[in-house]
Amino acid sequence: MKKEGRHTGQIVKELRKARRLTQMELAEQVGVSYQQIQKYETGIDNISIERLKQIAKAIDVPVTLFFPPDSERIAETPAVYDKLSDEELHVLKLFRSIKNKKVKKAILEFLKTVAAR
């Protein structure tokens, strides 16, 4: 089970308890068994978007509450390749084409040595 599944299930559990609902009561409102709610809350089963909407409605919270804010999302930093010279781009492409990790490491060590002079 992915970390995100456990996180979402934990939020469901906390909100359910805050609303003083049992797993059985939430299950009845959503139309599943209490065992299924238990599986969602423990992260054993993923919660589909449609089911998450039903749970949000039953608990009376917006569905967006189950999703992390933008600051918690994982994203790549923007590439700065447009700021590289043609020579730098060429070196980067050549370096990326090297498959042997030991060779890559040796090149990096060489570059560090040369750059330090």
CA dihedral 89, 97, 77, 115 (to 10 degrees): -60
Distance (Å, whole) CA 21 – CA 59: 8
For 21-34, how does the pLDDT look when each residue is reduced to its tens digit (9 = 90+)? 999 999 999 999 99
For 81-109, how does the pLDDT look when each residue is reduced to its tens digit (9 = 90+)? 456 677 887 888 888 888 898 998 998 88
Name the nearest CA neighbour of 12 among 2, 71, 46. Answer: 46
> Residue 89: its pLDDT value, please?
77
For domain 3-68, the question of CATH label 3.40.50.10610 is answered with no
Each domain of the chain, given as residue ranges in start order, spans 3-68, 81-116
For 39-92, how does the pLDDT look when each residue is reduced to its tens digit (9 = 90+)? 999 989 999 999 999 999 999 888 988 876 655 455 555 454 456 677 887 888
* Structure tokens given for 99: 């498959």
